[in-house]
């Protein structure tokens, strides 16, 4: 008798989901919903991996997350696996502020608090809340668990999470570094430890997806990470600027009369690789570079420069570096990005095995040369499996 947990990762216009058996950790089904609430036809791709194995596609106008989830649940009913056997739903609830770190049983009060925290993660929390509300309506009889992206960073050292602003202002507003992608950084750092057979590692994990962040992990504990109060800080991302001079915000307001909301939008949605190159997707950036597009080349240089800057700083903070790992869409797939980053890390004794780096594989693997001082790895992240494990732990 399988005990499936449904995992939901709701974005503003998308929902990624998986159904995983909590005991065998077998993936039973997975899917993705795209273009929710965009006014254009949405799509649902549902893949069944047990019983009547198959892939199913639906095109439909999806006005909101509830409609989208209802369509997904319809596909479960029609093609399986059996949704009524689900024992719990695990939700990626990005920003827990200083209210939530550990996996939390979702109640009405929890939803209210998440709503209060929404301004801290404007791209993420509202979508997460819509998903939680829709799923609770459609599956009212099972526990729903919120898993926070901030959890792994809740115990950062004070010197790392404190901003150099007035102490009372920071206290009153709860402004501090929270950090994100924690589920992924924790999962990947544990996989690296397993692969290298050592727990006492000084590690840097590069989670390079659409959102991107880097973390420093010392013997399993996070000591630094590049995202901050919000998921806007740090690395150059698909559409987010990452670090900029904070003076730019006031300057844009004074010079162009842009409002706070407009500046937020500019930095979150029209900056990063999109702003620099006109492309959000790293594959399109690479294609443009290969076609001789100099602006795209500069965009990638900025991306790499920022990442190398963080890795160097984190190696110093860690007091050494045993392992450097790459994960998420760009980290797992873009061999050129890994190669260009590592080429600039010779000062730390990093030596890539270019052949191993160029190989395509879905397996976690070492890509450094045998005489490299630092083990370099590619580790596919699995936030969904990590979420199932955390939900299972909470539910006993
Ligand atoms: N083969 C590839 N080469 C380079 N980049 C890739 C490749 N496949 C995916 N990506 C990048 O991965 C990004 C998505 O990463 P992902 O971790 O799925 O992001 P998110 O979870 O934030 O949606 C895409 O924007 C794309 O740039
Ligand atoms: C927090 C965050 O940036 O998440 P994502 O990469 O899914 O946008
Ligand atoms: Mg992701």
What the chain holds in terms of domains, given with CATH numbers, is 4-153 (3.30.420.40), 197-383 (3.30.420.40)
CB 244, CB 364: distance < 8 Å: no
Nearest to 384 by CA among 92, 129, 103: 92
Residue 61 DSSP one-character state: E
Q: Is 149 a catalytic residue?
A: yes
Q: Which residue has the higher pLDDT, 130 or 310?
A: 310
| Predicted pLDDT of residue 231 | 92
pLDDT band at 370 (very low <50, low <70, confident <90, very high): very high
Q: Which of 108, 141, 149, 218 is catalytic?
A: 149
Mean pLDDT for 206-213 is 96
| DSSP-derived secondary structure for 292-351 | T-HHHHHHHHHHHHHHHHHHHHHHHHHTS-SEEEEEHHHHHH-HHHHHHHHHT-GGGT--
Nearest to 342 by CA among 363, 326, 329: 326
Mean pLDDT for 303-328 is 98
Q: Tell me: pLDDT of 303 over 80.
A: yes
Cα 236 off chain centre by = 14
CA-to-CA distance for 259 and 336, rounded, in angstroms? Answer: 38
**Binding positions:** 9, 16, 92, 207-211, 281-283, 329-333, 383
Q: Tell me: pLDDT of 1 over 80.
A: no
Residue 235 DSSP one-character state: S
| Predicted pLDDT of residue 277 | 97
| Predicted pLDDT of residue 50 | 95
| Predicted pLDDT of residue 35 | 87
Pocket of ligand 2, candidates 147, 208, 211, 387: which has the most ligand atoms within 8 Å of its Cβ, to mutate?
211
CA-to-CA distance for 367 and 370, rounded, in angstroms? Answer: 9
| Predicted pLDDT of residue 13 | 80
Point out the ligand nearest to the CA of residue 95: 2
Pocket of ligand 1, candidates 208, 280, 329, 359: which has the most ligand atoms within 8 Å of its Cβ, to mutate?
329
Nearest CA to ligand 1 atom 6: 330
| Predicted pLDDT of residue 124 | 82
Q: Is 134 touching ligand 2 by the criterion CB < 6 Å?
A: no
Nearest ligand 2 atom, CA 180: 1
Point out the ligand nearest to the CA of residue 11: 2
Q: Tell me: pLDDT of 373 over 80.
A: yes
Token look-up 């009913």 returns 77
| Predicted pLDDT of residue 108 | 96
| Predicted pLDDT of residue 121 | 82
Mean pLDDT for 2-28 is 93
Cα(231) to ligand 2 centroid in Å equals 7
Q: Is 149 touching ligand 2 by the criterion CB < 6 Å?
A: yes
Residue 347: both structure tokens together: 């000062």
Residue 386: both structure tokens together: 């990590």
Residue 132: both structure tokens together: 């939680």
Q: Over the stretch 248-299, which tens digit does the pLDDT of each residue have?
A: 999 999 999 999 999 999 999 999 999 999 999 999 999 999 999 999 999 9
pTM of the predicted model as reported, rounded to 2 decimal places: 0.94
pLDDT cut 70: percent of the chain above it: 100
CA-to-CA distance for 374 and 377, rounded, in angstroms? Answer: 10
Nearest ligand 2 atom, CA 181: 1
Q: Is 371 exposed, middle or buried (0-12, 13-18, 19+ CB in 10 A)?
A: exposed
Q: Tell me: pLDDT of 39 over 90.
A: no
| Predicted pLDDT of residue 232 | 95
Q: Is 75 touching ligand 1 by the criterion CB < 6 Å?
A: no
> In which region does residue 70 sit, left (phi positive, over 0), alpha (psi from -120 to 50) or beta (all else)?
alpha
Q: Tell me: pLDDT of 48 over 80.
A: yes
Q: Tell me: pLDDT of 123 over 80.
A: no
């Amino acid at each position: 008798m399988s005990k499936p947990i449904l995992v939901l990762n709701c974005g503003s216009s998308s929902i990624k989901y998986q159904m995983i058996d909590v005991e065998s950790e077998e993936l039973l089904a997975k899917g993705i919903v795209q273009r929710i609430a965009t006014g254009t036809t949405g799509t649902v791709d549902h893949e069944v991996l047990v019983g009547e194995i198959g892939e199913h596609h639906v095109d439909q106008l999806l006005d909101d997350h509830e409609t989208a989830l209802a369509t997904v649940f319809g596909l479960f009913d029609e093609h399986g696996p059996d949704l009524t056997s689900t024992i719990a739903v695990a939700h990626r609830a990005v920003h827990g502020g200083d209210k939530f770190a550990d996996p939390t049983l979702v109640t009405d009060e929890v939803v209210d608090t998440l709503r209060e925290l929404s301004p801290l993660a404007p791209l993420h929390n509202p979508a997460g809340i819509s998903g939680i509300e829709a799923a609770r309506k459609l599956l009212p009889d099972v526990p729903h668990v919120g898993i926070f992206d901030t959890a792994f960073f809740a115990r950062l050292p004070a010197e790392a999470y404190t901003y150099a602003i007035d102490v009372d202002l920071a206290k009153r507003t709860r402004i501090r570094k929270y950090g994100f992608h924690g589920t992924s950084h924790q999962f990947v750092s544990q996989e690296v430890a397993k692969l290298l057979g050592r727990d006492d590692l000084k590690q840097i994990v590069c989670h390079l997806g659409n959102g991107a962040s880097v973390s420093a992990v010392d013997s399993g504990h996070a000591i630094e990470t590049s995202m901050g109060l919000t998921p806007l800080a740090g690395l150059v991302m698909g559409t987010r600027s990452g670090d900029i001079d904070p003076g730019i915000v006031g300057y844009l307001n004074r010079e162009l009369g842009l409002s706070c909301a407009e500046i937020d939008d500019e930095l979150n949605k029209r900056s990063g690789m999109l702003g620099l190159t006109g492309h959000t997707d790293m594959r399109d950036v690479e294609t443009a570079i290969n076609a001789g597009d100099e602006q795209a080349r500069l965009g990638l240089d900025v991306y790499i420069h920022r990442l190398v800057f963080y890795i160097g700083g984190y190696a110093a903070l860690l007091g050494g570096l045993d392992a450097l790992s790459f994960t998420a869409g760009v980290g797992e797939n873009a061999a050129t990005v890994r190669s260009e980053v590592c080429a600039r890390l010779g000062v730390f004794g990093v030596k890539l095995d270019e052949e191993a780096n160029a190989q395509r594989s879905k397996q976690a693997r070492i890509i450094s040369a045998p005489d490299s001082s630092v083990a370099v790895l590619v580790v596919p992240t699995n936030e969904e499996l990590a979420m199932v494990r955390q939900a299972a732990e909470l539910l006993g």
